Structure 1
Amino acid sequence: MGSRAFFLSLRRTRFVEGFGAANGWSSRRFLSSGGLGNELVEDAVVVEGSDDLKSRIFRLRLPKRSVTNVIQKWVGEGNEVSAPELRQISKELRKSQRYKHALEVSEWMVTDEGYELSDKDYADRIDLMTKVFGVDAAERYFEGLPTSGKTSETYTALLHSYASLKMSDKAADLYEKMKDSNLSFSALTYNEMMTLYMSIGQVEKVSSVVDEMKRQKVAPDIFTYNLWISSYAATLRIDEVERVLDEMSQDSNSNEDWKRYRQLTRIYVISGQLLNSESGGLVEAEKGITQREWITYDFLVILHASLGKKERVDQIWKSLRMTKQKMTSRNFMCVLSSYLILGHMKEAGEVIDQWKQATNTSFDSSYCNRLLEAYREIGLIDTANAFQMLLIEKNCISGGDP
């Protein structure tokens, strides 16, 4: 896969929980089947091992195997199946990227008159239909819903389908219909539009979405702020980054996650990585990824670090290094500061080692000194001291350096 294609795929990690979420960081293989022999072995395992509905469904490794048959057999044996149980199974199947099986679970709930579907159930079906049959099928399903079924959840699900496929015209048209629908939407809906604009390079439109949120009196969440700040950082408007950080600090919804995000972002700005990048401007990088896009990745790392999601930081960092792109000192500094503020000194040390071994970007202790000063400037003295000791241990600075 080319670097540009990898970037576009990677960005579909979604900055919202719906980018929430972060699909696509890793792949999952289904086990290959040798035909009927394997099916008989699976059935034998079901009898001998733990025997519940979830176990039976998860033993269907191949997408062509029918979840519907498994549920039918389970019920035929006199077992009951509750809606919460089916929803949980479907959720875990989606996490495992087994979308066809998850859709079959959803279909069972639709066809069985004993279940009353929620708005979220319908929204999940739209997302699953997009993944299994394509966005046209999801669109037809949405249009076929009764007026009562066209809720904020189902509208947002279809909007996400358009946004994830970068269908900007359809997304914009649906967004306008949503604004005229008299429905109440959450920050997630607006985050979807912001994510779309970031992904197609129309960063100037992000602030207009924030303005619409404010007019509708919808409270922004931490993902909203991350996208908003990323849009200004992408064009090196540092004064606007600072302004949003100040607004964020005054938000009544502010919590410890938001505080950590503000700290990391201020460290990032104070240490000069936006203004002192090696390329010096918004120019095309070696393989087609712009500085703007790298900055967006940096703030994605900062977001997950602020939420304490170390595994996401690990995944993003690994994925970025797999692109064979020229890593800048800014990239190393961003992930390094994220591990430091999370208190993972081992990983911080590994980033320093990777930086020192990089062939395209020479390690420069002056960058680390700026980062040290940034920690001290915002009052994180313990973190600064721990970082200084790590630098000494790695022979990056002498014991007498600041």
Structure 2
Amino acid sequence: MNTKLISKTLNQNQNAIISRSYYTNKTNKATLYSKLSPLGSTPSLEPELDSWIQNGKKVKVAELQRIIHDFRMRKRFTHALQVSEWMNKKGICIFSPSQHAVQLDLIGRVHGFVSAENYFNNLRDQDKNEKTYGALLNCYVQKRETDKSISHLQKMKEMGFAKSSLSYNDIMCLYTNVGQHEKVPQVLNEMKENNVSPDNFSYRLCMNSYGARGDLEGMEKMLNEMEHQPDIVVDWNSYAVAASSYIKGGLTDKAIDSLKKSETRLDKKDGTGYNHLISLYATLGEKTEVLRLWDLEKSTCERPINKDYINIMASLVKLDEFEEVEKVLKEWEASGNFYDVRVPNTLIIGYSGKGLYEKAKALLENLTEKGKATLPNIWGKVAAGFFDKNEVAKAFSCMKAALCLYEENKEWKPNQKVITGILSWLGDEGSAEDAEAFVSSLKNVIPMNREMYHAVLKAHIRAGKEVHGLLDGMKTCKIKEDEETKKILSMMQK
């Protein structure tokens, strides 16, 4: 059970504490929701919400709650918080403890646990119940604040707010995520001593803790105990956790047996479950099972979404089955799903990992020709691959494409070794025009430096072009002539 899966289940676990109102009326979904949902990059939704009211349109509490719920599920926590805060500020309704718990959770995610603490401390006493206490505990756990989490749980126990498995599961998640796996079974034992019944997730966390420590006997005992609990139905996820532990322990036959059991308990429309089993079979090198489950997923689920395509492609890449990956990519292109750069990137990264840089470059160029978005870091990765193979001209071509995309992805920084190598190559072999254009793009990403000026100087001198402007530019940038500069300038006298 990996950390991402634990975090995802932790979020679902916490959602059980808070309000789950989910407004599904399609008519209303096409109004305010359809107005707000596409505004993914908008800094604030408040103007849109205010405009909606000013235009005389009604807002319903249920719809606002559904919007908040949807944004949270899509990890648009800032926008979810804005809607919740606007709802509270405008007095759309008096917040219940459940709604305060939602806002507390969002504040913790967006602004940190200190802001969540302040919000909690300012609540009325009647709003401080197991839901809001639980939401604050979840904030501490999300931020891995071990001492605060344990202290807060103790307070919840004293107030009688720790009567369900939810809070104990939070602490087990905390210990899992900070690598203190040996403490997880202790929490399970404490639950039992306090007459709190463990649920599926409690047992899964405990099984995972034994597996992480390589204690397969302990993991099996925990699974056996779970199987004999009258109030618990062992789900697909629990057997998948067992399979993952067996894989790590090198027990292939037991892993496959657990995967078969997991599949029998899988909801036939659960794409997440299929994806997880596909990934585990790929780790085992079982191509036939990977493709069988993929076909089953396509036939039983409504239709594969982008994350399903990403998962199957990543699994096939792991198996070095690139022809199969290419087939899946074509399926995705014909699926009608919205364009998601992560889907083709899965294949491009796979190609790069195997040194197939020509194929990676060709796919990137094909996407560009079709007007599809690509990312500078992927172009940069392919450029680095060509550079390491001493194919500098191709590295230059890819890095040019990466630099052109910088304005839309300013977090990306180019590989300095590759940049230095390309600049040296441009100075020695490139045209003056190519050197100028490359440096012009590069200076938008990093400040002008000596290497950049030297590359253009050398290219200009080889082309017989004047260099006074470049030397003036160096002075303006306070870059003094060094021995290398003098050596380059001496080329004019030959």
How many residues in Structure 1 have an aligned counterpart in Structure 2? 288
Selected match of 1:62 from 25, 29, 41: 41
Give the Cα–Cα distance (whole angstroms) in 2 for the partners of residues 84 and 71 of structure 1. 15
In the superposition, the TM-score normalised over structure 1's length comes to 0.59
Equivalent AA in structure 2 for residue 84 of structure 1: A
Which deviates the most, 102-111 or 306-315?
306-315
Q: Which residue of 2 aligns with 1:13?
A: 7
Contact 1:332 1:355 (8 Å CA) reproduced:
no
Change beyond 3 A, Cα 1:206–1:212 = same
Number of the residue aligned with 2:446: none
- With the length of structure 2 as denominator, give the TM-score of the two structures: 0.49
Distance 1:209 1:307, change over 3 A: farther
Query: Which letter does structure 2 place at the counterpart of 1:240?
Result: G
* Letter paired with 2:7: T
Shift of 1:273: 3.6
Partner residue, 1:79? 57
Per the alignment, do residues 92 and 351 of structure 1 end up closer, same or farther by CA in structure 2, a change over 3 Å counting?
A: closer
| Residue 276 (structure 1) aligned to one of 244, 250, 266 | 250
Judged with a 3 Å threshold, the aligned counterparts in structure 2 of structure 1 residues 238 and 343 are, in CA distance, closer, same or farther, namely farther
Shift in alpha-carbon separation, 1:333–1:203, aligned structure 2, 3 A: farther
For 2:235 and 2:5, how far apart are their aligned partners in 1? 25
Give, in whole Å, the separation in 1 of the partners of 2:114 and 2:239. 43
Task: Tell me the distance in 2 between the aligned counterparts of 1:334 and 1:161.
Answer: 40
- 2:250 maps to a residue whose letter is N
TM-aligned CA distance change 1:18 to 1:74, over 3 Å: same
Q: Is the 8 A contact 1:229 1:241 kept in 2?
A: yes
Unaligned runs of 5+ in 2: 16-28, 299-308, 322-494
Cα RMSD after superposing both structures: 4.1
Is residue 103–residue 125 contact of structure 1 (8 Å, CA) maintained in 2?
yes
CA 1:227–1:337 in 2, change beyond 3 Å: closer, same or farther? farther
Work out whether 1:199 is the aligned partner of 2:177: yes
Counterpart residue identity of residue 16, structure 1: L
Match of 2:272 among 296, 311, 323: 311
Could you list the per-position Cα deviations for residues 152-188 of structure 1 after superposition, in whole angstroms to 9, with x for gaps in the alignment? 1212211111111211111121121111111244322
User: Percent identical across equivalent pairs?
Assistant: 25
State the partner residue of 2:121. Answer: 143
Distance 2:94 2:287 in 1: 46
Matched-pair contact (CA < 8 Å) for 1:14–1:20: no
Relative to structure 1, the CA distance from residue 178 to residue 342 in structure 2 (aligned partners, 3 Å threshold; closer, same or farther) is farther
Deviation at 1:208, TM superposition (A): 1.7
Q: Structure 1 317/185 Cα, relative in aligned 2: closer, same or farther at 3 Å?
A: farther
SS in 1 for 2:10: coil
The 3 A distance-change label for structure 1 pair 145 and 273 is same
1:135 Cα deviation after fit: 1.9
Greater RCO (Cα-Cα under 8 Å, separation 6 or more): 1
Instruction: Map 1:323-342 onto structure 2 (within 5 A).
Output: 331-332=283-284
1:242 equivalent to 2:220? Answer yes
Alignment of 1:356-395 (within 5 A): 356-357=319-320
More helix by share: 2
Kindly indicate whether the alpha-carbon contact (under 8 Å) linking 2:140 and 2:146 is maintained by their aligned counterparts in 1. yes
* Inter-partner Cα distance in structure 1 for 2:206 and 2:141: 17
What is the rounded CA distance, in whole Å, between the counterparts of 1:334 and 1:170 in structure 2?
A: 44
Q: 1:111 to 1:354 in 2, by over 3 A?
A: closer
Find the residue that maps to 1:13 and give its secondary structure.
helix
Q: What is the alpha-carbon distance in structure 1 between the residues aligned to residue 130 and residue 184 of structure 2?
A: 21
Within the candidate set 76, 94, 110, 2:72 is matched to: 94
Partners of 2:30 and 2:249 in 1: CA distance = 59
CA contact (8 A) 2:108 2:139 kept: yes
Comparing 226-235 and 213-222, the one that deviates more: 213-222
- For residues 76 and 104 of structure 2, the distance between their equivalents in structure 1, rounded to whole angstroms, comes to 15
Alignment match of 1:189 (pick from 163, 167, 172): 167
User: CA separation in 2, counterparts of 1:136 and 1:121?
Assistant: 19
Q: Which residue of 1 aligns with 2:101?
A: 123
Quick one: structure 1 residues 11 and 262, their matched pair in 2 at CA, closer, same or farther if it must change by over 3 Å? closer
CA deviation vs aligned residue, 1:242-279 (integer Å, no higher than 9, x gap)? 22112211223333xx254455566667xx5454379x
Aligned to 1:170: 148
Distance of 1:90 and 1:229 partners within structure 2: 34
Partner secondary structure for residue 18 of structure 1 = helix
* Paired letter, 2:32: L
Aligned to 2:83: 105
1:137 CA displacement: 0.8
| CA 142–104 in structure 1, closer or farther in 2 if over 3 Å, else same | same
| Secondary structure in structure 1 of the residue aligned to 2:7 | coil
Are 2:110 and 1:132 equivalent residues in the alignment?
A: yes
AA in 2 matched with 1:357: D
- Contact 1:13–1:19 (Cα < 8 Å) also in 2: no
**1:29 maps to which residue?**
none
Question: What is the CA-CA distance between 1:315 and the residue it aligns to?
Answer: 7.6
Distance verdict in 2 for CA 1:54–1:130, change over 3 Å: same
Matched, 1:153 2:131: yes
